[in-house]
Structure 1
Amino acid sequence: MAEVTAATVKELRERTGAGMMDCKKALGETAGDMEAAIDWLRTKGLAAAAKKAGRTAAEGLVGVSVRGTRGAVVEVNSETDFVAKNEQFQDFVRTVAELALDGNGDVAALAAARWPEGGTVEEKLTANIATIGENQSLRRVGVVEVSEGAVVSYVHNAVTAGLGKIGVLVALEGNGDKAALEALGKQLAMHIAAANPLALRGEDLDPALVERERAIASEKASESGKPANIVEKMVDGAIAKFRKENALLSQLFVMDNKTKVEDVIAAEAKKTGSQITLAAYVRFQLGEGIEKKESDFAAEVAAAAGVREPA
């Protein structure tokens, strides 16, 4: 009997496009025989899902769910926007967001979580691929929590309650009026959806991203012909501006475009007579970072028919 390892599961998944848990089960059922495992997946009706696994899934939905002082946001992708309007797909995303509340933000753990009606999340997803007829994937999950205060969600371009194109969670620590915290959280979430901050604070920005900006600023400054010490100051100024404009707390609040977000929070804390801390936030925008495959339908049809395009 061949050993079932993470490497063999990965290989089977790459060869078939089937779900991770399905691949693991297939190898277990076939004593680790790779070819037999492929056949096992086919006999279980997973071949249809496997054939679709190579297609780019960059559409879909972002779903949010909040329970008490804990919130979760998930992104589930599909090939076309049409599927986002499918009630079966919407129910799946909604349920996954609720299940994510009991997790730690790990996608693999969420995929392996128990589905309410039996099986796992990944098994349910695989079944959906087969019945809906499009490749789908559970791409990512985020979870925030506070010990005391409020976690507020906001969905931009919502197609239905809790589901849309942009999902935001805001975690506010505080022991003041709950309604005031909720109202502030909603405004901050709307700001985050619009302004797309890259980090909570300037020092939290990705070092690689900062260095990239520094290289660009340095090249621009060096073209000015100014002395090296002046060029250095110009670069430092550009980086300081970049940090300020891309860190949430130092961004100008979109509601008035003149007050920094951290000052908005401080003003609300003073107004309510209680301490308020923006502990964390998560912003998921559907498909961000996914390279969509562009296709020319007319050219594809012509190619299939053996017709050459005019030179």
Structure 2
Amino acid sequence: MRVLITGAAGFIGAALADALLARGDAVIGVDDCNAYYDPQLKADRISRIEVQGGDFTFQKVNFADMAALGAALDGESFDAIVHLGAQAGVRYSIENPAAYVQSNVVGHANMLEIARHREVRHMVYASSSSVYGGNDKLPFSVDDRADHPVSLYAATKRADEMMSESYAHLYHIPLTGLRFFTVYGPWGRPDMAMWIFTKKILAGEPIPVFNKGEMWRDFTYIDDIVAGVVAALDNPPADDGNVKAGGSSKPHALYNIGNNRSEKLTRVIELLGEACGREVQIDWQPMQKGDVQRTYADIEAIERDLGYAPRTTIDEGVPRFVDWYRGYTGE
């Protein structure tokens, strides 16, 4: 296949590009490489992809700018789209909501239009576990209601799902939304807890832990996430009248991608301390606005439909991240 990946300089996008190129697919990468976090890390991810070789082209463009996106893709052909680009971060959405509306809502609508007019065979897009809000029912199932987002980031991701449902109904474009659960691993993002904690532990600084440590997350290793994205990409939902995951008979599927384990944050901190070989100092903090206490993915639908099976425990994945972090930063 020839696959267009948005957010190709991002954490998941770059890892997916590596995987698709390794199996012989061609990849067109799109990313605006903005300064939400260090653009050098994004540039280094792209360099890593280019060193690998294969049929890879990269366009530095903002997919929320339809005119610029159309110009960048003029003359390019592709069979499928994996739309991973977005303004990420729950907490930053409280400070700068306009950035989320532009990137996550306008940008997603632009990609749906590209998919429609290019008549692609499938578009896979990134949603988020944050759409479940403060859901008390565990684990989170794709059949659960998701109409009480507690952050604007979550609201934009749920809006993406609803727009996709409409496009699948109106234009019969095969679409698959993936609700990612706390992705971590080598080449991860500096704004996420794994990176922040590791940096502070190695520097001998206290780490901020919210809700006094009463937090649980379904930590999912990057290789397991990529395996799920590839499985989804290779299996577009059919418009055959059969009810798909998420309760839709239209060519639109929704899946959780998680590790199917809800791990207490303090256990992850213990593993980070062991991997760093340092004593951990903790700065206990109250619950943050827009955050949720627990996430836990029910992955029955993606197991059944796509054969998805996460393999990496936090006992394996956390030390791998620390090893990569120390090699990359020299800390």
| TM surpasses 0.5 | no
Q: What TM-score comes out, normalization by structure 2 length?
A: 0.24
- Between structure 1 and structure 2, the one with the greater Rg is 1
Q: What TM-score comes out, normalization by structure 1 length?
A: 0.25
* Larger helix percent: 1
